[in-house]
Amino acid sequence: MTTIAVLADPPREGLVMQRLAATSPLTEAECADLYAAAVRDVCAAAANSGGDLLVNYRPDDALPGEGDSEAELRAVVSDVAEDARFEVQVGETFAGRAGNTVSHLLETEETPSVAATRPESLFLTRQHIDEAAMKLRRSDVVLGPAPEGRVYYAGFREPVDFENAYEPPALATLTDRALDAGHDADFLPEVPVVETGGDLANALVAIRTRRKAGRLVPSHVADRLEGLGLVVESEGDRLAVTR
């Protein structure tokens, strides 16, 4: 059984999805609401899979402002993942926090396999998680590729060197770390992530077309985006979001 660690911050305005706020029409408040919806979708996918959900959050003294990170995240996921486990992250960088979590669970708690993901990986589904679990029976590392060399999911049966392991392109860096450690690597289908305005444009197209076709979408994010009056337009060979 795989433990899926969702590394999440409390959905506070100005703290989360800062790149998205800077590169799209969304305000910081709207980005915080969208992030909360993404936390719900990703945690629901993990909770409904064959694995165990672990919500990892940074300690309050490592974040700007005041608040209770654990309480805020518990309130967000309480109705979609009531059995979730919550633990504080340890580490200065995302790679450090992900690496500490994965290594601790594999080596100290002897968890069979561990995966790390983030709310920005909002297209992650239960099917992806269960497919990764099957692949982890044969391979030591399973990665979920995202556009531009990013990753939306990283599963491990054995630890690797996590120092700067998410250095862009993260997909290549993590693959190299796996191979350098003598491990086999396998891959999931490519899935979008949402970190920038360009990502949001592609996500909107995917969500709207999938909904029209009656296919699966990240429902909480889709509902949150529906009332924002966003329009996807073509700018040369790229898509952009306007209002």
pLDDT (tens digit per residue) in 50-105: 999 999 999 999 999 889 999 999 999 999 998 999 999 999 999 999 999 999 99
Q: Is residue 218 a contact partner of residue 41, using CB atoms and an 8 Å limit?
A: yes
Q: Is residue 195 a contact partner of residue 20, using CB atoms and an 8 Å limit?
A: yes
Query: Within the chain, where are the H helices?
Result: 18-23, 28-47, 69-77, 94-103, 126-135, 170-180, 197-212, 219-226
In the chain, which stretches have pLDDT less than 70?
none
Q: Is residue 129 a contact partner of residue 4, using CB atoms and an 8 Å limit?
A: yes
Chain centroid to CA 121 = 4
pLDDT at 227: 86
With 0.85 as the threshold, say if the pTM is over it.
yes
pLDDT at 236: 84
What is the spatial distance between Cα 116 and Cα 7, in angstroms, rounded to a whole number? 7
Identify residue 108 by its one-letter amino acid code.
T
